[in-house]
Amino acid sequence: MATVQEHLQSLMGNRVVETAGSSLTRETWRRLRANRIAMVGGAVIVFFVLVAIFAPWLAPYDPRVNTWFDQIRPSSVPGPSREHWFGLDESGRDLLSRIIYGARTSLVIGIVSLAIGASIGAIFGVLAGAFGGWADSLVMRVTDVLLSVPSLLLALSVAAVIGQSQTAVMIAVAVPNIPLFARLLRSSMMAEREKDYVGAAVSVGIKRRPLVMSHILPNSLGPMIVQGTLALATAVIDAAALSFLGLGSADPGVPEWGRMLANAQRYLNVAPHLCLIPGFVIFITVLGFNLFGESLREALDPKLRR
Amino acid sequence: MFKFIVRRLLLLIPILLGLSFLLFIWVRALPGGPATALLGERATPERVAQVNAAYGFDKPVLEQYVKYLGRILRFEFGQSITLRKDVTDELLRRFPATVELAAAAMVFAVGLGIPLGFAAAKRERSWVDSTAIVASLAGVSIPVFFLAQILKWIFALKLNWFPTIGRLQPTRELEHVTNFNLIDSVIALDWGAWVDTVKHLILPGIALGTIPLAIVARITRASVLEVLNEDYVRTARAKGMSRRIVDRRHVLRNALLPIVTVVGLQTGLLLSGAVLTETVFAWGGIGQLLSGAVLDKDYPVIQGGVMFLAVVFVLVNLIVDVLYAVIDPRIRVR
Amino acid sequence: MRQRKKLVALALVSALALAACGSDDSNSDTTSGPGGGKAGGTLVFGTSSDPVVLDGAYVSDGESLRVIDQLFETLVTTVPGGTEIESSLAKSWSASDDGTVWTFDLQTGVKFHDDTDFNAAAVCFNFDRWYNFTGVAQSAAVSYYWSTVFGGFSDGATPSLYSKCEAKDDATAIITLTAPSAAFLSGLAVSAFVIASPDALTKYEADKVGGTDDAPTFDGTFGTEHPVGTGPFKFDSWTPGDKLTIVRNDSYWGTKAILDKVIFKPIADGPARRTALETGEIQGYDLVDPADVAALADGGYQILNRPAFNVGYVGFNQAKPPLDNPMIRQAIAFALNRQALVTAKYPEGAEVATQFQPPELFGWSADVPDYSYDPEKAKALIAESGVTDLTIEFYYPSDVSRPYMPDPTANFEAFKADLEAVGFTIVPKTAPWRSGYLDDVDAGNAQMYLLGWTGDYGDPDNFVGTFFRTPQVAWGFDNQEIFDALTKARDTADAAERTKLYEAANKLIMEFLPGVPYVHTQPSLAFAPGITGYTPSPVSLESFATVSLG
């Protein structure tokens, strides 16, 4: 049924890409490279991942030691200086090191929750699209229900159940991804099913599963990467929001950007760097993912080419 | 037309049923059972028995579900554990506050978003366009609570232009007829209260509306671009119609349809963003209630609040769908 | 499209213009009254949350008590700013020789806010009401203070200190106890024992309590719409989440209040309260965040300190090894750098605690063992103890700010680092204060935990007696010597003797080391310049009646 949602999805570029053969062609890469915005976004992503991977070598100090606690006073937290480029945090730890290791935490949370959400969603989506009938209706209804709750509320409810821990945040952030990926894969599957080569293959006697694996899934890769990139961005923000509201790991020493932002609130007047730096870092990282993801989507879509 | 509405309404029922079922299982799936979840670690056998009797957890599951459904349909969500008040009463009391805030955010988002998107579309591929794209993506990249804090810091504290807490200045008295302060102040013919309300709405409205602003701008741009390239527009221009007339008559009207529907879809974003914004600005709406309830593990409130907001979200979507079908008959046919 | 753009722009500009214009009349309500002097005006005060209910018998949280203290009065009260007892609704009193029969001479000509008479019958009505609580109303979540001071109820399940109350005549009330008590009179100053209008209590079903022991519900409207007392202020209105308004009682029997109106506005976040003060949206607030104290003072705002009457401590549950080993407990005490934490995170006026009660209270001993920071000694003690498994679960509350612990997370992190430096392995555990943390501690689930206490009345029994006079699951130990010492100190009649006994008891406690006290603080309030007349009290019994806008 062509509802308003679907028309809008198509406007926002969520419709399945109609290209013959694999969508991740050299053509796509070429277009991407020509797009400056995409390159900037991509650079941010690469930078973020590198920092996360090489954190132990990049960070000047251990993010958990509070050696400089004696420099802290109720109304003063030292800001950027030569020994501490980003200054200290409110417990006397080096802020730069915590930001660097925070990238690692965010990356882990983002990837794990994305993996969980995407795989579960993809399985349901493929089943629904491949087999149609009642499987399809069931999946659609379930995703309808899940999508009827705004994603942060959904994450909040899940986190409230599981309790305060890093795992809880990861699962909570993963859940809103499930219906999104389910729908995505379903559309993909259904579009491909209509194609001639599928009909031909089936009539010749090729089984469904190898068909799905070797042809249909790869063709859905493009939109999945787009969705994945954007989902990573949302994951970082949602995880930060949950930390802000007080959920997340019981150990306050774990460097996590959202948590650092939440703790820094009370020092906004006194030591703004505590709040501005993590906030800005979250912003830039998420922006990078969004820039790249959106550019990739435009690059994949032939209709937007003029 | 009527059949269309009825069909869409009927589709609502399984969704809401499914949601209620989900929430039902949710409380009972909590580790240790619902009574333990409500009591926490202070659960002793006597207290568990007391809670089970009070809430009926010791009855068979099917009977519980039926009773639960009955309560939901009557909008009874029980008592808040921490506030000791009826959940439904509290939700209804706070709802207008959230609505007012969401409306202010939407006014901001649409009032600025449409012109920006339109401008970007007309100047496609220029630096204006690129800036608009980046800006709109930046808008969705910034954490709402961070933005709210920054806005508070700059505009309220440093510049002292706007207030930071609540919906009205505490010393101001306003008769709460509808609990929508904008309306109540008009009813009471209190001009000062009206202005005060607007002042209190500005900062949280901007904070909450930034993400929808970005999305509206992008949708406008995409939608306008699509229409601009339609054959009939090019034909009209080729025939010599002035640009302005073409814009107004064709481009705008057709481009507006999806934009109008974004308003409905954004409700979801606004409802979830409200939780964070309301906390930062001490806004007495449902969002503030929910964020406190999550930490306090006040399950009746969380259950009631999520169900309430979901119903609102779904209903708004339905209204938007119907409106869309009314405006564009092509949709109805399918 | 241009037209639309113009309209939008016009609307925006108008809104901004209106906003700018509107800013002038916003403060007109708070200017002083005629004569440019003190009379009248409205004060907006920022609180941390809404009260629970405005019925003194049912509450123990600071925000409820704050409002109750303005609307109601007790028979006796504390001197402003101190803990000594002075008269209030009772002009004078005397005790029989055996200390069990107390005669109170009441003030005359006093009326409740609903115009009914205050007299001995009303006093006895209130006492009997509390004594006759049944069911959920008896639980600790409801009538905590009655249980603390008097013990049991009329059902006889637990023995009670209270026997009966007799109204000899309109101005004389006689309260009979079952045993002599030195702390009884101080206890009466606690706001749980305010005298409310019997008429209102009955008419508005104040006794209607439902729910469960842990989640009681107050179903009558007395505590939410008709809290009728004798105090200098009357209840006006209450919109939860928004504000609570009280107005001056012009028929008050004592010195009338200066302000016309006080509005209590709940703002959960400390820095948000500060912002509200600086923008002029409120004129005062409580629980100033330590980070804000210096900046506010520099900005010309008034910072008022309550005399230190609290203690922050690290609690041990000795039922969970290795905390049952005294050497390990001592090692922990030496390992914690308490002075560093106090310097870094607590404002001026805070001091390191050496025992479980503040120095201002009699019974404080200068002779307790010294556990000053000495990590080497800590390591030596650990080695000597022979304990190999040094894993400890350390609990801290996740979302609360207490006067003795403004930032629990910061305290936790500092202590955790100190302990890990001498070899302990710390497992962090957390829960929200109201829904999980306190219950975990009380149920004995927490092994080592951050907690504290603000005194309710001026007696050491309220500090060390509350903690250590009886065996408690949270502390997990059974030390009869300490129990006996504290019981004896409480029951002794002679004041000088009591002081000596409490000093000895404190020394005993600190040798046994059931926990490590680390701070006494002077919680602060902030006010706008010009506001005068607010006297901070160590037990937070503060009146707005003497406050004026200056």
Complex confidence, ipTM: 0.76
Question: What's the angle, vertex CA C176, arms to CA C172 and CA C178, rounded to 5?
Answer: 170
DSSP E strands in C75-144: the ranges are: 76-78, 85-87, 90-95, 101-106
Statement: residue C147 has pLDDT above 90: no
Name the nearest CA neighbour of C394 among C323, C477, C340, C471.
C323
**pTM (two decimals):** 0.79
Do the Cβ atoms of B143 and A282 come closer than 8 Å?
yes
Q: Which residues of C touch B295 (CB under 8 A)?
A: 398-399, 432, 435
The whole-number pLDDT of residue A70 equals 86
CB contact under 8 A, B138 and A3: no
What part of A 19-78 touches C (C-beta under 8 Å)?
Answer: 65-66, 69-70, 72-75
DSSP E strands in A39-132: the ranges are: none
Looking at residue C96, its amino acid is: S
The whole-number pLDDT of residue B251 equals 64
Burial of C45 (0-12, 13-18, 19+ CB in 10 A): buried
B267 contacts: CB under 8 Å, gap ≥ 6: B102, B312, B313, B316, B317
Name the nearest CA neighbour of C474 among C313, C356, C312, C317.
C317
Helix, strand, coil percentages for chain B (3-state, nearest 5): 80, 0, 20
Neighbors of chain A with 3 or more C-beta pairs under 8 Å: B, C
Neighbors of chain B with 3 or more C-beta pairs under 8 Å: A, C
State both tokens at C449.
Answer: 């935990």
Binning pLDDT at 50, 70 and 90, where does residue B283 land? confident
CA of A230 to nearest chain C CA: how many angstroms apart? 31
What average pLDDT does the structure give for chain C? 86
From A41-45, A195-199, C111-115, C282-286, the region with the lowest mean pLDDT: A195-199
Domains of chain A with CATH codes = 99-306 (1.10.3720.10)
How many contacts (CB atoms, under 8 Å) link A and B? Answer: 152
From A146-155, A176-185, B39-48, C189-198, the region with the lowest mean pLDDT: B39-48
For every residue of C23-81, DSSP letters joined together read: TTGGGGGGS--GGGSSS--EEEEEESS--S-S-GGG--SHHHHHHHHHH---SEEEPTT
DSSP E strands in C216-370: the ranges are: 216-218, 233-239, 243-248, 261-266, 284-286, 302-305, 310-316
Statement: residue C19 has pLDDT above 60: no
Query: What is the Cα–Cα distance from A230 to A225, expressed in whole angstroms?
Result: 9
Binning pLDDT at 50, 70 and 90, where does residue B271 land? confident
Determine how many CB atoms are found less than 10 A away from the CB of residue B179. Answer: 19
Query: Searching chain B, which residue's CA lies closest to the CA of residue C266?
Result: B282
Do the Cβ atoms of C234 and C113 come closer than 8 Å?
yes
Residues in chain C: 550
Query: What is the Cα–Cα distance from A161 to A179, expressed in whole angstroms?
Result: 20
Q: Which residues of C touch B165 (CB under 8 A)?
A: 265, 267, 272, 275-276, 281
State both tokens at C275.
Answer: 């912002």
SS3 C226: coil
Q: Which residues of C touch A92 (CB under 8 A)?
A: 344
From A33-42, A108-117, B56-65, the region with the lowest mean pLDDT: B56-65
The whole-number pLDDT of residue C272 equals 78
C238: β partners: C244
Query: What is the Cα–Cα distance from A59 to A51, expressed in whole angstroms?
Result: 9
Interface test with B, best of A4, A39, A147, A295 (most B CBs within 10 A): A4
Query: What is the Cα–Cα distance from C535 to C532, expressed in whole angstroms?
Result: 9
CA of B22 to nearest chain A CA: how many angstroms apart? 9
Q: Dihedrals φ, ψ of C88, to 5°?
A: -135, -105
C105 to C74, C91, C102, C189, C299: CA distances (angstroms): 13, 6, 10, 16, 49
Q: Which pairing describes strands C448-454 and C310-316: parallel, antiparallel, or unpaired?
A: antiparallel
CB contact under 8 A, A75 and C410: no
From A198-207, B82-91, C104-113, C373-382, the region with the lowest mean pLDDT: A198-207
- For chain C, say whether A250 makes contact (Cβ under 8 Å): yes
Which one has a higher pLDDT value, B133 or C307? Answer: C307
Which one has a higher pLDDT value, B323 or B40? Answer: B323
What average pLDDT does the structure give for chain B? 75
State both tokens at B287.
Answer: 């969002």
Give per-residue pLDDT as tens, B126-148: 777 777 778 888 888 888 888 88
- Torsion sign (Cα): B236, B241, B245, B247: positive
Do the Cβ atoms of A110 and A285 come closer than 8 Å?
no
Interface test with C, best of B82, B154, B165 (most C CBs within 10 A): B165
The whole-number pLDDT of residue B242 equals 67
Which one has a higher pLDDT value, C18 or B6? Answer: B6
Looking at residue C423, its amino acid is: G
Share of residues in chain C with pLDDT > 90 (%): 52
B188 contacts: CB under 8 Å, gap ≥ 6: B174, B175
Mean pLDDT of B38-56: 64
Which one has a higher pLDDT value, A49 or A157? Answer: A49
C101: β partners: C176
CA of B14 to nearest chain C CA: how many angstroms apart? 34
Do the Cβ atoms of A146 and A178 come closer than 8 Å?
yes
What torsion, rounded to 10 degrees, do the Cα atoms A188, A191, A197, A201 define?
Answer: 70
The whole-number pLDDT of residue C7 equals 46
